[in-house]
Structure 1
Amino acid sequence: MIGIDPSTEGIAQAQARYPHLALYEGSAYEDLAEHYGRFPVVTSLEVVEHLYAPRRYAATLFDLLEPSGTAIVSTPYHGYWKNLAMALIGKLDAHFTALWDHGHIKFWPIRTLSALLREAGFVDIRFERVGRIPALAKSMIAIARRPGYA
């Protein structure tokens, strides 16, 4: 198991707390599979909403998986009813603020994240919504598989 993060500070903090883990500075825009190999499972937690090039991220995620490997991707949930509820209670502007340095720049409903993963070659894509009731979920988790050998 290894961990990759683009933040030098984040890696340093994690290594100080968990010195036994293999943690490296890296980006979803790099050829991570060439550097670190392929894995049966890749977990990406709260990353895709911060990226300028989500297609490159999805390609990197796909490349990191062994054939028949599983990707687990979490991101804040954005759906019609949640966005409507935030608008009705006056929280939409605060939620989608442009004033958060390094904050969220993409907002993913299930249909759009599913399309991104399908486009990258993933199959058997399913979603779980977590936190609150499903229509107002805080986050969603996509589970997708890289096809195996034919």
Structure 2
Amino acid sequence: MRFQVIDTQMRRIVVLMPAVKAELRKINDSSQGGAWLFDLGCGNGSVAASITKEGWEVSGVDPSSEGISAAAKTYPDLHLKEGSAYDDLVSLYGRFPVVLSLEVVEHVYAPREYARTLFDLVEPGGTAIISTPYHGYLKNLAMAVTGKMDKHFTALWDHGHIKFWSIPTLSALLSEAGFNDIRFVRVGRVPPLAQSMIAIAQKPKP
């Protein structure tokens, strides 16, 4: 069931949230002053609910009907709907100073289409914050030496990870979509063995 994937993602997101909130505070303290945020892949709404407590107005979508149903029951005041990065979200929701997409890009079959939608949703001069499991040479080597490659790259997880991103590959995806000033924060464990990475990318002003 897809909702099981969302539940697994939520456990990973607990590790991400301190760093994500720190980035959002930087944005709020800057001249951007973005009080509106779009959550692309909002899951069961727990991230959106946590962010609203810090003064953000959050809208979002997720392709899981189970996840959105759970969000509606638990957080009825949030504006979360069923939808995906393959939809024309800008026509439905407009553009936002900040677009958040946590632990989503590793699941999408068409990452360039996802990145184009992400870019379109961000206002000129705005920010996209994306997270995904981190992969790099030392981490991959450590998994190989300790016999954990099969578990990490398992083909037996229904609706599981189908893309495995590194800093160079995710940078290339975001740059190709039009983002610039891309930087990364690694979270969970020491940086070379990080659990996840967060990309913070800017949409250029006209």
TM-score (norm 1): 0.98
Q: Where does 1:69-88 land on structure 2 (aligned, <5 Å)?
A: 69-88=126-145
1:115 equivalent in structure 2: 172
Letter of the 1:129 partner, please give it. Answer: R
Q: Does 1:138 align with 2:191?
A: no
Letter of the 1:50 partner, please give it. Answer: H
Question: 1:58-87, CA deviations, whole angstroms, 9 ceiling, x for partnerless residues?
Answer: 000000011001000000001110011011
Question: 1:72-127, CA deviations, whole angstroms, 9 ceiling, x for partnerless residues?
Answer: 00000011100110110000011100000000000000000000000000000000
**Using the alignment, how far apart are the partners of 1:26 and 1:147 within structure 2?**
26
Q: Which runs of 5+ in 2 are unaligned?
A: 1-57
TM-score (norm 2): 0.72
4+ residue runs of structure 1 moved beyond 2 angstroms?
none
Q: Which runs of 5+ in 1 are unaligned?
A: none
Question: 1:112-143, CA deviations, whole angstroms, 9 ceiling, x for partnerless residues?
Answer: 00000000000000000000000000000000
2:71 equivalent in structure 1: 14
Counterpart selection for 2:95 from 2, 17, 38: 38
Question: Deviation at 1:3?
Answer: 1.5
Cα RMSD over matched residues? 0.5
1:23 equivalent in structure 2: 80
Greater strand fraction, Structure 1 or Structure 2? 1
Letter of the 2:80 partner, please give it. Answer: L
1:48 equivalent in structure 2: 105
Letter of the 1:52 partner, please give it. Answer: Y
- How much identity, in percent, do the aligned residues show? 73
